[in-house]
Amino acid sequence: MKLKNMQDIGGCRAIVSSEKKLRKIVRELKKNPELKDASGTVRLKDYIKYPKDDGYRSYHLVGRFTDSSGIHKSIEIQLRTKIQHYWATALEIVDLFTGQALKSNQGDEDWKTFFLGISKQFALMESIHIFDQLQYKEQFDSYNAELRENEEKLSDCLEVQFLGKKLEVQDKLDAFANSLRVIDDRIDKSPNIGYVLLEIDTINTTVTSRLYRRDKSKKAEEDYTATEQAAAGKHGVAVALVSTTAVGGIKEAYPNYFADSTMFLEHLHLVFNIKNPKQRSLFERIVGA
């Protein structure tokens, strides 16, 4: 991002269970004078009501706060629901390991379409009353009922299913999350490490890693190129050269992802388990023939 486009120099984030609670917090925050300009206007971006083109959903407020030296500084406050946070975390992880910039709406079209589609499905789930408090079967039944009432939403769901399976999202996210934990453990034991070369086998669920000091970036890049070429013909193998600074940033911004990588996938399972009513069973196809 260009410096001139930045509207804040610092930020904080709150993650809450539901949009209802989020809206309540927003109403309270808007009362604070620090969040109003000279004309009394609050600087805000409602990316929940008006999501970004990539599917990003969150609520942003920008205020001017006085530091200990009496200088006014712009600070952005981000508010997200848990489901919105799971989505953003998954996108960050895919960016980190695939070398894309999906967060900036750049990268592979299939991945972009998948994340946009899954964002819409998550928004539909959140529109269901007390969805976050329901048991899994109740969540599925209520979500399934919503889809059956709208053919367009059901079609969107089935497209997400197709792309999710084509991209092997479940296997890759599991492998990426496991490799993050592997990296984290090794970096803690080797503080001078600057780069990690990973070869992730999503089929055999194995992770091979090589560590490089910060002054060995050229060697790391050469080995990355050779490893990537060797893996080109192998199905289910991903190769990534990751800066330890990037990993540290992910851990700092998304500590919950290191502790529990299942929440995004749990909600993705709801999407994957929806059946296409137009797809006949094998028995029906045989009999029909």
What does DSSP assign to residue 149?
T
List Cα–Cα distances, 151 to 33, 51, 147, 157, 255, in angstroms. Answer: 46, 22, 7, 10, 38
Sheet bearing 206-213, strands edge to edge: 206-213, 193-201, 237-243
**pLDDT score for 103:** 82
pTM value is 0.77
Please state, in angstroms and rounded to a whole number, the distance separating the CA atoms of residues 220 and 194: 10
Q: What are the structural domains of the chain?
A: 3-81 (3.30.460.10), 84-167 (no CATH), 170-267 (no CATH)
List Cα–Cα distances, 98 to 55, 200, 220, 242, in angstroms. Answer: 19, 11, 16, 10
Contact indicator for 177, 255 with CB cutoff of 8 Å: no
Percent of the chain whose predicted confidence (pLDDT) is above 90: 46
Among the listed residues 179, 143, 142, the one whose alpha carbon sits nearest the alpha carbon of residue 160:
143
Burial of 173 (0-12, 13-18, 19+ CB in 10 A): buried
Pairing of strands 72-81, 10-16: parallel
Instruction: Give residue-wise pLDDT tens across range 158-178.
Output: 999 999 999 999 888 887 777
Q: What is the DSSP string of 199-265?
A: EEETTTTEEEEEEEEGGGHHHHHHHHHHHHHHHTTSTTEEEEEEEHHHHHHHHHH-HHHHH---HHH
Instruction: Give residue-wise pLDDT tens across range 1-35.
Output: 565 666 557 888 899 999 999 999 999 999 999 99
Contacts of residue 215, Cβ cutoff 8 Å, sequence gap at least 6: 194
Instruction: Give residue-wise pLDDT tens across range 249-288.
Output: 666 655 555 544 678 999 999 999 998 876 643 334 444 5
**pLDDT score for 260:** 47
Contact indicator for 175, 238 with CB cutoff of 8 Å: yes
Cα–Cα–Cα angle for 133, 79, 20, rounded to 5 degrees: 40
